[in-house]
Amino acid sequence: MPKYSLKVIQNLARERFRMNLNGIHGFAHWQRVHENGLYLCRHIEADSRVVECFAYLHDCCRVWDGPDPAHGPRAAKFAREIREFLHLDDHAFELLQLACRGHERGKTSDNPTIGACWDSDRLDLGRVAIKTSPKYLSTEIAKRKSVLEWAHKRSRGIDAKIKG
C-alpha cells in the first residue's frame, strides 16, 4: 500500500480536473478550503484527515463552473477509485463519502467532521462575491465574526491572519 501523501492526493485531484486549475473551483480554492478546515479542526473534534481529503477532492470532478449538481456524487465516486491513497478507515471514508456527496445542497450537519468540510468550503464564497451566511454553516466556530472576516478576506485575495 502506498504511504499517505498529501502531494499525491493533490496531484490525483489535479489530474482528474477537467477545467482551468486557476478558475473559481480550482486549486487555490482547494487550498483555502484546506486552510479553513485545518483552522476549524483546531477548535472542534473533527477528523482533520477527512477534511483534508475533502478539500482537494470535493470539486475536482466538476465539468463546468455553473450549476453541476452531480459533481458531489462524482467526487465521492472518484474517492472510491483512489481509496488506497487516502488511508482512511471505513468510518472516516464513509464520512468523506457523505461530505462529498452532499456538499452543495445547502444543508448543515450535526456531525463535526461533515460540518467542518462543508463550512470550510462555504467560508470561501467570497471568491464569487458572496458573503458567507452563518445560516448555512454547521459549526459554531465557523460562525464567529472573526472567522467569517478572516476567511472572507482570504477568499478575496487579501492576506489575513487569525489567532487561535
Choices 9-17, 45-53, 102-110, 150-158; region in contact with Fe ion by CB under 5 A: 102-110
If one asks whether residue 35 binds Fe ion (CB under 5 A), the answer comes out as: no
**17, 59, 74, 100: which one binds Fe ion (CB under 5 A):** 59
How would you write 22-61 as a 3-class SS string? CCCCCHHHHHHHHHHHHHHHHHCCCCHHHHHHHHHHCCCC
H and E: helices and strands count for the chain: 9, 0
Identity of the amino acid at 52: E
If one asks whether residue 119 binds Fe ion (CB under 5 A), the answer comes out as: no
Choices 1-9, 12-20, 97-105, 145-153; region in contact with Fe ion by CB under 5 A: 97-105
56-83 burial, b for 16+ CB within 10 Å, e for fewer? bbbbbbbeeeeeeeebbebbbebbeeee
Task: Select 52 or 104, whichever has its Cβ closest to Fe ion.
Answer: 104
Least distance in angstroms from the C-beta of 26 to Fe ion:
10
If one asks whether residue 104 binds Fe ion (CB under 5 A), the answer comes out as: yes
Residues that bind Fe ion (CB under 5 A): 59, 104, 121
